[in-house]
């Protein structure tokens, strides 16, 4: 979208008249984006451009919402609610570029800009949501019983009103001042938490110079570690705390002393030391509690869940406990089976967490005669990418072609134009696959622009997938582990949610849905990873071109529920830690490690290790959007298991079923998620589907 279109987004006789400040169009963030599909001109943007662009965009946003407040016309849905939805479009454009890149291609300079600009953004947000005259107009429209609105418009009105209330609009002036104080500090602390976690991850590495200690490793692991060492100017082989480096070493190495050092380093990131996050955790949770109590809730979880599919704290706690009760004994059996197997191979003493990956992989290889080393040659990244594109084509008719002339933010990033079966343009998709020091750990989908309509003209989304997959080496292309391939499918599901969005308002489109519903499109996609009909259609050996043997596919399918209960309980432990932190009714000032161990105690399967805690690097809940919401992964897993059962019943490429699911994806947040799910599935989700899918009953 061009700058003129952005600034004219509220045009019309009945819309507020905006007096705009001067705009320096020599700054590429503020200029017209005369680029293919109005994509960000990454090749022209410098770090020095961000802060002045933010300052201008904040001023524009203030002018826009002041125009709404000062509009002499009677408040209407269009001149107040729609105008509010559209205000800040320029700021959204700049923020989407900056904060997305701050996650995947950051630097000390960018982090400094983030720390500088974040308080100003929080202040602006509070100035909007706490303005009594603005809320008066919103409330007047909300209480207008004569309005005849479409379902989509009605949902926008309800969400807008509720957003103001949940952001303190009904508070007294004294409490509004406190709300500003708390949220401003929170914005800084959550940003600092993420920076500390990334710094702690990058601060540790383990260099190995003795060839005997890497001799047993598969060649793809050794090559990757050797490449890391060379890139660092070191000899031999270097293991980092990045997942593609750490995980295969823990899986294939028998060097217990090295693995213990790596495990302890990984599981004590930001737990004390230079990048300590423990005080940040205590302050973040205390401030969130203060915000919740200001707004009339007993704890932060009550506040968050009041706007979720689960609806309340007791429902979430009951849900987690129910799944734990149904799977804990099986998880214990999983651990005992691996421990007994390890003992049979001569392992002495308890099977510790740093031993588990090694022996569980050996056990899987012996029990099912299948391992990642066997599977990886058939999961070449380029083939897997083509396979995901093919799946989207079979299900939804989508086509993916290289986006010529579209600038990218890093040489490793590629961009694709996505079109519908009739040739209509749907989205630009950016793919960023490999780890680097400037990128945080994990995998995620984000947007540089969301789908929306402006006065009847459709604006299509710019979607980005960011991963940390195994890098290619000098002799081998990027070959994915089965877990990495499943992750690719997962994030691609989020991308489909964004790319297929259809609606007038960006706040109701794509992944802008209730947090415990947003993981359904991603988790349902994971199911295709173990479908023979799908694997048969594309998985070939990267060297020989031979299709994946039928026997190997059958082994993958047979092994798909290997350690399923163990993995389930591990996820539940994260959800329970999250809920423990956010159901506090008084600030916690004790030991973070002890608090976490107590919260996770009901889920404990492997031996407890003192001096370890995952909370200090638990970015999802302390610097991301999953506070009091991590349970949503399991919640959505139930939806996905129940939903995929329909694909299994009708056929995994069934067009009728895919069409119904596409309608769910297109709908975004325009309807309550339970209503959308029932329209697709025909009934409410059933927990038993997940239990059966895990093979436990």
Q: In sequence order, what are the residues at sequence separation of 6 or more whose Cβ sits closer than 8 angstroms to the Cβ of residue 320?
A: 572, 575, 576, 579, 631, 634
Residue 47 pLDDT > 70, yes or no? yes
DSSP H or E segment with residue 265: helix 256-266
Average pLDDT over residues 246-253: 96
Q: Which fold has domain 377-513?
A: Collagenase (Catalytic Domain) (3.40.390)
d(CA 329, CA 696): 10
* Tokens encoding 664: 């769910």
Count the helices and strands in the chain (H runs, E runs).
Answer: 28, 9
pLDDT, the chain, mean: 95
Please tell me the predicted confidence (pLDDT) of residue 677: 96
| pTM: predicted TM-score of the whole model, two decimal places | 0.89
Task: Answer left, alpha or beta for residue 349, where phi above 0 means left and psi between -120 and 50 means alpha.
Answer: left
- For residues 416-432, give the mean pLDDT: 98
User: Residue 490's closest CA among 465, 463, 516?
Assistant: 465
pLDDT of 695 strictly over 90: no
Decide if pLDDT at 13 tops 80: no
Strand (E) positions, 260-361? none
Question: Residue 474 pLDDT > 90, yes or no?
Answer: no
pLDDT of amino acid 631:
97
Q: Which CATH class is domain 3-129+131-170?
A: mainly alpha
What are the residue ranges of CATH 3.40.390.10 in the chain? Answer: 377-513
- Out of 228, 491, 531, 593, pick the active-site residue: 491
Residue 31 has pLDDT above 90, yes or no: yes
pLDDT digits (tens, 9 = 90+) for 622-633: 999 999 999 999
For residue 443, what is the DSSP state? -
Does position 3 have pLDDT exceeding 70, yes or no? no
Is 133 a residue of the active site?
no
Q: Are strands 425-432 and 462-466 parallel, antiparallel or unpaired?
A: parallel
Task: State the span(s) of the chain assigned CATH 1.10.1370.40.
Answer: 3-129+131-170
pLDDT in tens, 511-526: 999 999 999 999 999 9
- Give 686's pLDDT tier (boundaries 50, 70, 90): confident
Predicted pLDDT of residue 14: 74
More reliable by pLDDT, 475 or 161: 161
Burial class (CB in 10 A: 0-12, 13-18, 19+), 150: exposed
In this prediction, residues 464-474 reach a mean pLDDT of 93
Residue 538 to residue 561: CA distance in whole angstroms: 23
Strands 444-449 and 399-402: unpaired
Strand runs (DSSP E) across 312-391, as ranges?
A: none
């Amino acid at each position: 979208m061009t700058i003129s279109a952005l600034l004219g987004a509220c045009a019309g006789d009945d819309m507020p008249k905006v007096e705009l400040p001067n705009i320096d169009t020599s700054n590429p963030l503020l200029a017209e984006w005369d680029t293919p599909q109005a994509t960000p001109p990454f090749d022209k943007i410098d770090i020095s451009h961000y802060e002045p662009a933010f300052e201008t965009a904040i001023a524009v946003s203030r002018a826009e919402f002041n125009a709404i407040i000062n509009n002499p016309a009677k408040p209407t849905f269009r001149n107040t609610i729609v105008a509010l939805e559209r205000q800040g479009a320029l700021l959204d454009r700049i923020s989407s570029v900056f904060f997305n890149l701050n996650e995947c291609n950051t630097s000390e300079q960018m982090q400094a800009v983030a720390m500088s600009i974040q308080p100003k953004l929080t202040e602006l947000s509070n100035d909007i949501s706490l303005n009594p005259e603005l809320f008066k107009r919103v409330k007047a429209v909300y209480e207008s019983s004569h309005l005849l609105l479409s379902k989509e418009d009605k949902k926008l009105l309800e969400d807008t009103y509720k957003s103001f209330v949940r952001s303190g609009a009904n508070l007294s002036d004294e409490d509004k001042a406190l709300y500003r104080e708390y949220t401003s500090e929170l914005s800084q602390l959550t940003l600092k938490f993420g920076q500390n976690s990334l710094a702690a991850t990058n601060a540790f590495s383990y260099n190995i110079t003795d060839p005997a200690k890497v001799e047993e490793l598969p060649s793809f692991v050794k090559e990757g570690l050797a490449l890391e060492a060379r890139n660092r100017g070191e000899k031999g082989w270097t293991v980092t705390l990045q997942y593609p480096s750490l995980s295969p070493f823990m899986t294939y190495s028998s060097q217990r002393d090295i693995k213990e050092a790596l495990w302890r380093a990984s599981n004590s990131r930001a737990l004390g030391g230079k990048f300590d996050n423990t005080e940040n955790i205590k302050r973040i949770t205390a401030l969130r509690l203060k915000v919740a109590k200001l707004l009339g809730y007993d704890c932060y979880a009550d506040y968050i869940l009041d706007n979720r599919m689960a609806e309340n704290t007791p429902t979430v706690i009951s849900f987690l406990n129910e799944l734990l009760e149904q799977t804990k004994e099986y998880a214990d059996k999983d651990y005992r089976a691996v421990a007994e197997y390890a003992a049979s191979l001569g392992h002495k003493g308890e099977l510790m967490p740093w031993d588990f990956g090694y022996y569980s992989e050996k056990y899987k290889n012996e029990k099912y005669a299948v391992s990642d080393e066997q599977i990886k040659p058939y999961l070449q990244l380029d083939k897997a990418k083509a396979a995901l594109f093919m799946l989207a084509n079979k299900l939804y008719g989508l086509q993916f072609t290289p986006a010529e002339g579209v600038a990218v933010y890093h040489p490793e990033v590629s961009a694709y134009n996505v079109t519908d079966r009739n040739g209509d343009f749907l989205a630009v998709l950016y793919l960023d696959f490999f780890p680097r020091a400037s990128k945080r750990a994990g995998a995620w989908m984000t947007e540089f622009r969301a789908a929306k309509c402006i006065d009847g003209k459709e604006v299509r989304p710019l979607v980005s997938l960011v991963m940390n997959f195994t890098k290619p080496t000098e002799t081998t292309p990027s070959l994915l582990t089965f877990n990495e391939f499943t992750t690719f499918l997962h994030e691609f599901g989020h991308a489909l949610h964004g790319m297929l969005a259809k609606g007038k308002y960006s706040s109701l489109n794509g992944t802008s849905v209730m947090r415990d519903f947003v993981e359904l499109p991603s988790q349902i996609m994971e199911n295709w990873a173990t479908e023979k009909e799908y694997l048969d259609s594309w998985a070939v050996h990267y060297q020989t071109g031979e299709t994946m043997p039928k026997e190997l596919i059958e082994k993958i399918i047979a092994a798909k529920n290997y350690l399923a209960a163990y993995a389930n309980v591990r996820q539940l432990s994260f959800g329970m830690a999250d809920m423990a932190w956010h159901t506090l009714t008084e600030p916690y000032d004790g030991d973070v490690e002890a608090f976490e161990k107590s919260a996770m105690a009901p889920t404990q399967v492997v031996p407890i290790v003192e001096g370890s805690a995952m909370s200090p690097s638990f970015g999802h809940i302390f610097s991301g959007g999953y506070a009091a919401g991590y349970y949503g992964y399991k919640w959505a897993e139930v939806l996905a298991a129940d939903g995929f059962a329909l694909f299994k019943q009708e056929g995994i490429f069934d067009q009728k079923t895919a069409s119904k699911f596409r309608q769910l994806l297109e709908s975004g947040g325009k309807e309550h998620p339970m209503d959308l799910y029932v329209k697709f599935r025909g009934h409410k989700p059933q927990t038993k589907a997940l239990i059966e899918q895990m093979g436990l009953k």
